[in-house]
C-alpha cells in the first residue's frame, strides 16, 4: 500500500489530517498523522511514530510530509523510518500544505513511480497553489458599507 504520513509541531498534522478527511473521505488506513505537542519530548514523539507505522511493511511505500524541513518532527520521524528499514521506500517533503497532501492522496494509486510523482508533480503543484486570493474591494464597499 502507498501510505501518506503527516508529522509536525503542535497539532498541525492531525488538524490537516481532519481537513483531508473532509475532502477525501474518512476512516482511511492509508493516511496517518502524529505531532510533537508542546512539552512533549523527542523520545515520546519517536515512540508515537513507531506505533503509528507498525502496520507498514517492506512492500509498502510512504510519502512523509512535514511542517518544515529542519524541524525536529521530520528529523525524528525520518530516523524512526530508517530504524525500521523503511527509509528506502519513503519520499519526504517539508513545508506541507493542503494541496500537496490532497493531491497526493487523490493521485497516489495512479502514479507509476510514487516517489517521483510526489517529488516533482505534487511538489510543483503545491507551490503554485500558494497564491493570492482577491475580490474587488470597491465592489464590496458598495455592497456592504
Give the binding site for a second copy (CB under 8 A). Answer: 8-23, 26, 35, 37-38, 66-69, 74, 78, 82-83, 85, 87-88, 91-100, 102, 119, 123, 126-135, 137, 140-141, 143-145
As measured in angstroms, the least distance from the Cβ of 1 to a second copy is: 20
**In the complex, what is the shortest distance from the CB of residue 139 to a second copy, in angstroms, rounded to a whole number?**
9
Q: Classify residue 118 by its DSSP letter.
A: I
From the CB of 111, what's the least distance to a second copy, in Å? 16
Q: Three cell numbers at 23?
A: 475532502
Rounded to whole angstroms, the Cα distance separating 100 from 117 reads 11
Closer of 1 and 130 to a second copy (Cβ): 130
* 101/95 Cα distance (integer angstroms): 11
- Parallel, antiparallel, or unpaired for β 61-66 and 90-94? parallel
Q: Are 24 and 105 in contact (CB under 8 A)?
A: yes
Closer to a second copy at the Cβ: 42 or 130? 130
Q: Which is nearer to a second copy, 30 or 84 (CB)?
A: 84
Output the CA angle 39-43-49, nearest 5 degrees.
Answer: 100
- State the minimum distance, in angstroms, from the CB of residue 29 to a second copy: 18
Amino acid at each position: 500500500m502507498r501510505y501518506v504520513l503527516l508529522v509536525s509541531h503542535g497539532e498541525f498534522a492531525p488538524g490537516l489530517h481532519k481537513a483531508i478527511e473532509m475532502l477525501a473521505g474518512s476512516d482511511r488506513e492509508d493516511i496517518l498523522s502524529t505531532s510533537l505537542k508542546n512539552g512533549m519530548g523527542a523520545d515520546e514523539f519517536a515512540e508515537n511514530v513507531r506505533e503509528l507505522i507498525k502496520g507498514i511493511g517492506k512492500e509498502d511505500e510512504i510519502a512523509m510530509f512535514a511542517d518544515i524541513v529542519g524541524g525536529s518532527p521530520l528529523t525524528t520521524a525520518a530516523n524512526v523510518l530508517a530504524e525500521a528499514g523503511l527509509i528506502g521506500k519513503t519520499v519526504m517533503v517539508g513545508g506541507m500544505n493542503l494541496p500537496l497532501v490532497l493531491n497526493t492522496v487523490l493521485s497516489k494509486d495512479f502514479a507509476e513511480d510514487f516517489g517521483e510523482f510526489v517529488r516533482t508533480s505534487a511538489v510543483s503543484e503545491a507551490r503554485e497553489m500558494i497564491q493570492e486570493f482577491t475580490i474587488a474591494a470597491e465592489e464590496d464597499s458598495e455592497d456592504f458599507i
